[in-house]
Structure 1
Amino acid sequence: MFDPLLVDLSRLQFALTALYHFLFVPLTLGLSIMIAMMETVYVMTRRTIWRDMTKFWGVLFGINFALGVATGITMEFQFGMNWAYYSHYVGDVFGAPLAIEGLMAFFLEATFVGLFFFGWDRLSPRAHMIVTWLMALGTNFSALWILIANGWMQNPVGSAFNPDTMRMEVTDFMAVLFNPVAQAKFVHTVSAGYVCGAVFVLGISAWYMLRNRHVALAKRSFVIAAAFGVASSLSVIVLGDESGYALTDNQKMKLAAIEAMWETEPAPASFTAFGIPSLSDRKTHYAIHVPWVMGLIGTRSIDKEIPGIDQLVARAEERVRNGLGAYDALEKLKVNLGDTAARAAFEAKSQDLGYALLLKQYVEDPRTASDQQIKDAAWSSVPQVPWLFFSFRIMVACGFALLVLFVTSLWYTMREKGAPRWLFSLAVLAMPLPWIAIELGWFVAEFGRQPWIIDGVLPTFLATSELGIYNLILSIAGFTLVYGVLAVIEVRLMLAAIRKGPDIADMITGRPSTSLAEPKPAMQPGE
């Protein structure tokens, strides 16, 4: 039998390190593209102000990139440390995209990061611009392969369990690569990173405008961030809709939990704008429904149903019972791999083996489970509905609030009088919103998959290492301390660079920025 505390602590440690690491990833994605856009304008116009903008925002990118690398390395080690059985069970599949990410995307990214910082006086402007775009491309490729790995955890296609090796193995790598869940996650996550970068540039530019410092740089950066933010926000909304459609096909239980849809509604299903889900009576109280919206998002039709939690639990119970046949056949194959009858029985029901493994949280041998334990195992396939319900809605609210901010900022930049001071203040205050939305998005994606670490294949409670509780508590405390120190370093470096302004880039590259002596524009903020 498994130790619930061991599982909870293992999950807590990985969640803390993953959420902390992902504070840096989206900003890296967003800034890399914006820096490349700025340098492209410099190459096209040869105006040194654009070179100075590229170098200044590049310094902030570099600080963030370094911290992202430092915090990301520890996550991969955790698979072998805290999730040893997971690594053994699915390592042949999960390890492939991570290895490609390290060998191709990360090396590409790291190489061109160095050339970006130290190639200003060694490369022609056009060659340096190409380097910057390749740096941005490498950054996005890193996200692609990681999200392919994560997408496989959400929708394990292109693989099968081999009873001879007792492991999952790749059967179709192209199916893994073009997994619809992975592709939807990639474009949605990258777009969210672009929004994060846009808000970051917008907020810091607004801060400069409020203090009437580096106005030439801040004014141009504000305009680019507003325009890029509008496009990115619209992309997040459209691609988020595509992610919802992918859930309907591949993760029905997660979608039902996000919507707190306990019972199947007549098509097209309504969207619950607000409500208070309750696990005790399995109802959503004080619900405010928007007719048709969920049906249109989830099925792209008005006549297809979205199954509710009750219906999905009934289906899960059927799969648990069917999976017992696969489990029994597998136990016989462990004794005699040449048992053809057992192999045929396993192949016929192998797709439900994972559901039979859910019974191991109640009984050592699933074949001895009672009828009530089978029902309990089926209900354990339901994630924590209230957490998902509210997290998703806060995430969506943050996304639409940022879209309004970007549209308002872009509209004011097109006016002759310029943007008012209150808008600059609002842009500064809105800077935490993309991180809140992104962290909640990952929470919904990962917490909504529970109780599975590999959806429908391997329950989370079976995937941990045989570590002591003391070791886990000690490592969590250590990670918290080290990451706390890194957070202080990150904030201090960022604030120091922002206070220094464009001059910080000259300290790194060694070339003075002639454009800093440009006269201030006649139009001042708020005029």
Structure 2
Amino acid sequence: MNLALDVVDVSRWQFGITTVYHFILVPLTIGLAPMIAVMQTVWYVTGNEQWLRATKFFGKLFLINFALGVATGIVQEFQFGMNWSEYSRFVADVFGAPLALEGLVAFFLESTFIGLWIFGWDRLPKRLHLAAIWLVAIGVNASAYFIVAANSWMQHPVGVHWDPVRGRPAMDDFWAVITNNTTLAAFPHVIAGALLTASTFVAGIGCWWMARNMWRAKRLEDAADAAIDAEPVPDAVSPSHVDATPEQLRDDAHTLWRPVARFGLWLTVVAGVALFITGDFQAQIMFKQQPMKMAAAESLCESETGAGFSVLSIGRQNNCDNIDHVITAPGMLSFLADHRFDTRLQGVKELQAQYAKEFNKPEQNFAPNLFVTYWSFRAMITWAVGSALLAFAGLWFTRRKQVISSRRFGLFALWMLPAPFLANSSGWIFTEMGRQPWVVAPNWVDNLDPLRISMFVHNGVSRHTAGTVWVSLITLTLLYGILGLIWFGLQRRYVIEGPSARSDVASSSGDDADTDAPEQLSFAY
């Protein structure tokens, strides 16, 4: 029994670590693709060369992220067969369809047209080249939809019946699976989170470069006024910007970085509002479908009418007998459940007794880890505040055609870049850990044979020894750590290098193909 528990725990750690590593990259890919498409569209419509520079600059960062995302994502597919073969057998009839569509339709769509976009700058007409990046954006978002649909079935199984011959659920309504109301609630929330990540990424870099250019322009002018040679340019400065004059630096701050930053800042506001609305809708569904998850998220141990929202609780939070709610907003938890302040919500203890009786498993703990669910839910909200601070401060400092010249604010913008990444990861940790002890949660709402069409985590693992899983856990963790350092190093290098100088930006990239034109995306080649 101890060996079996070790295998379950180590397998969970492995899947959790590799998933979090991979998902750090996913929101940026999903959100940045349509943003780059918008930038290129603005250039196509207006002919403004600055938007072409922005497109290629952020396109390079997108390609780095996309490549590392693919590398880490491939391992995720093998996870199901490596340590979770019993789970894979159980869900095979259902997962086969959405995952096949994700691979055959969405991934092939994005991978095909991203190749055309990378190598087609001077080989495709402008209109077709622009269509390529829009198809990439559609592909990455379609890929997200099918993945969310598969995950949502684990949260709320639908469209199946129990097959007694094979001893597993059999899909009888594919449309119900991909239009699961859990999917329709989760997908907009995931996309809003991805847009928040990408817009914060674009806005933060734009604000930093804006402040950097203005500060460097002032340094050059001060050096000239003092009739001394300007200080040597640091090694971190892009060679294409070494000889820039103060006028050119200021012009880039006004005509390149300010519009790009404000595009990101305004999208951050829009994405934040969308997150609030979609999160509220998703929470109402979760209170019905997975009441134990939501009770654990609030450390609501006892059932209450007009339950309050716990702002802060202290104590051993994985133990309902030792939790003290220090700050509570009266009635707000009930309001979040169905927009009524007097709704009765079941607590962890009542739900535990109910599930133990329903499944005839009095020894089984049906509550997730209260500490993880409680604090990951709050971490998700808290980290998202970082993007909000950057958005409102950045919009204020760039109002009335002003530009940011404060180095401190530029550094603040950079420090806010990790916030949405951490918020997205915290949200998924809450979503997945809150489903425990289930790997496929029972559907109580529709009464879809919950005793059989559900699976405990410990029933889903492969029959490996703990040592075997430890070897793969250590290997993959080290490999992903190295890939993470490569990702960060490449992103940092090209962010600091900045966009190509105006003289280096191709003006052809249009209807007259020029195969001898200079390479425009050096990283891609």
Taking the TM superposition and a 5 Å limit, the aligned residue runs for 1:26-175 are: 26-175=27-176
Give the deviation of 1:281 after TM superposition: 4.7
Report the equivalent of 1:358: none
Taking the TM superposition and a 5 Å limit, the aligned residue runs for 1:349-388 are: 374-377=361-364, 380-388=365-373
Give the deviation of 1:228 after TM superposition: 1.0
Report the equivalent of 1:389: 374
- 1:502 matched to 2:502? The reply is no
Report the equivalent of 2:354: 315
- The correspondence for 1:440, drawn from 426, 443, 447, is 426
User: What letter matches 1:375 in structure 2?
Assistant: P
Secondary structure at the aligned position of 2:480 is classed as helix
Which of structure 1's runs of 4+ aligned residues deviate more than 4 A?
504-514
- The answer to which of 497-506 and 477-486 deviates more is 497-506
User: What letter matches 2:312 in structure 1?
Assistant: F
Report the equivalent of 1:231: 270
Q: Is the CA contact 1:497–1:504 (under 8 Å) kept in the aligned structure 2?
A: no
Give the deviation of 1:404 after TM superposition: 2.9
Give the deviation of 1:427 after TM superposition: 1.1
- 1:256 matched to 2:257? The reply is no
- The correspondence for 2:383, drawn from 398, 409, 424, is 398
Give the deviation of 1:452 after TM superposition: 0.5
Report the equivalent of 1:282: 321
Report the equivalent of 2:223: none
Report the equivalent of 1:518: none
Secondary structure at the aligned position of 1:282 is classed as helix
- The correspondence for 1:306, drawn from 345, 358, 382, is 345
Report the equivalent of 1:490: 487
Counterpart-to-counterpart distance in 2, 1:272 and 1:498: 40
Report the equivalent of 1:6: 7
TM-score by length of 1: 0.83
Give the deviation of 1:147 after TM superposition: 0.5
Give the deviation of 1:237 after TM superposition: 1.4
Listed one character per residue, the Cα deviations across residues 312-363 of structure 1 (whole Å, up to 9, x for unaligned) are 1122122113xxxxxxxxxxxxxxxxxxxxxxxxxxxxxxxxxxxxxxxxxx
Q: Is the CA contact 1:383–1:449 (under 8 Å) kept in the aligned structure 2?
A: yes
Secondary structure at the aligned position of 2:161 is classed as strand
CA RMSD of aligned residues (A): 2.1
Listed one character per residue, the Cα deviations across residues 187-222 of structure 1 (whole Å, up to 9, x for unaligned) are 111111111111111222222223216534322211
Listed one character per residue, the Cα deviations across residues 444-472 of structure 1 (whole Å, up to 9, x for unaligned) are 00111110100131000011111122221
Report the equivalent of 1:408: 393
Q: Is the CA contact 1:399–1:437 (under 8 Å) kept in the aligned structure 2?
A: yes
Listed one character per residue, the Cα deviations across residues 478-520 of structure 1 (whole Å, up to 9, x for unaligned) are 1122212212221222222222221299699985699xxxxxx
Listed one character per residue, the Cα deviations across residues 163-188 of structure 1 (whole Å, up to 9, x for unaligned) are 11111111222221111112222111
Q: Is the CA contact 2:210–2:403 (under 8 Å) kept in the aligned structure 1?
A: no
Segments of 5+ residues of structure 2 without an aligned counterpart are: 214-248, 443-453, 510-515, 521-525
Secondary structure at the aligned position of 2:439 is classed as strand
Q: Is the CA contact 2:64–2:491 (under 8 Å) kept in the aligned structure 1?
A: yes
Report the equivalent of 2:18: 17
Q: Is the CA contact 1:234–1:403 (under 8 Å) kept in the aligned structure 2?
A: no
Segments of 5+ residues of structure 1 without an aligned counterpart are: 322-373, 515-527
User: What letter matches 2:311 in structure 1?
Assistant: A
Counterpart-to-counterpart distance in 2, 1:484 and 1:189: 25
Listed one character per residue, the Cα deviations across residues 287-319 of structure 1 (whole Å, up to 9, x for unaligned) are 311122222211123343221112211221221
Give the deviation of 1:420 after TM superposition: 5.1
User: What letter matches 2:330 in structure 1?
Assistant: P
Q: Is the CA contact 1:503–1:513 (under 8 Å) kept in the aligned structure 2?
A: no
Counterpart-to-counterpart distance in 2, 1:94 and 1:146: 9
Q: Is the CA contact 1:295–1:301 (under 8 Å) kept in the aligned structure 2?
A: yes
- The answer to which of 90-99 and 216-225 deviates more is 216-225
Report the equivalent of 1:451: 437
Taking the TM superposition and a 5 Å limit, the aligned residue runs for 1:241-252 are: 241-252=280-291
Listed one character per residue, the Cα deviations across residues 74-119 of structure 1 (whole Å, up to 9, x for unaligned) are 1111101111111111111122211110000000011111111111
Counterpart-to-counterpart distance in 1, 2:31 and 2:436: 30
Give the deviation of 1:55 after TM superposition: 1.2
Listed one character per residue, the Cα deviations across residues 357-386 of structure 1 (whole Å, up to 9, x for unaligned) are xxxxxxxxxxxxxxxxx3222xx1100112
* CA pair 127-281 structure 1, distance change in 2 beyond 3 A: closer
User: What letter matches 1:153 in structure 2?
Assistant: M
User: What's the % identity of the aligned pairs?
Assistant: 37
Q: Is the CA contact 1:395–1:436 (under 8 Å) kept in the aligned structure 2?
A: yes
* CA pair 54-174 structure 1, distance change in 2 beyond 3 A: same
Q: Is the CA contact 1:204–1:428 (under 8 Å) kept in the aligned structure 2?
A: yes
- The correspondence for 2:335, drawn from 290, 293, 296, is 296
Taking the TM superposition and a 5 Å limit, the aligned residue runs for 1:416-427 are: 416-419=401-404, 421=406, 422-427=408-413
- 1:272 matched to 2:273? The reply is no
Counterpart-to-counterpart distance in 1, 2:325 and 2:465: 44
Q: Is the CA contact 1:56–1:504 (under 8 Å) kept in the aligned structure 2?
A: no
Secondary structure at the aligned position of 2:122 is classed as coil
Report the equivalent of 2:512: none
Q: Is the CA contact 2:53–2:505 (under 8 Å) kept in the aligned structure 1?
A: no
- The correspondence for 2:457, drawn from 460, 467, 475, is 460
Listed one character per residue, the Cα deviations across residues 46-71 of structure 1 (whole Å, up to 9, x for unaligned) are 11111111111111101100000011
Counterpart-to-counterpart distance in 2, 1:207 and 1:177: 42
* CA pair 129-53 structure 1, distance change in 2 beyond 3 A: same
Give the deviation of 1:283 after TM superposition: 4.6
User: What letter matches 1:291 in structure 2?
Assistant: P
* CA pair 511-255 structure 1, distance change in 2 beyond 3 A: farther
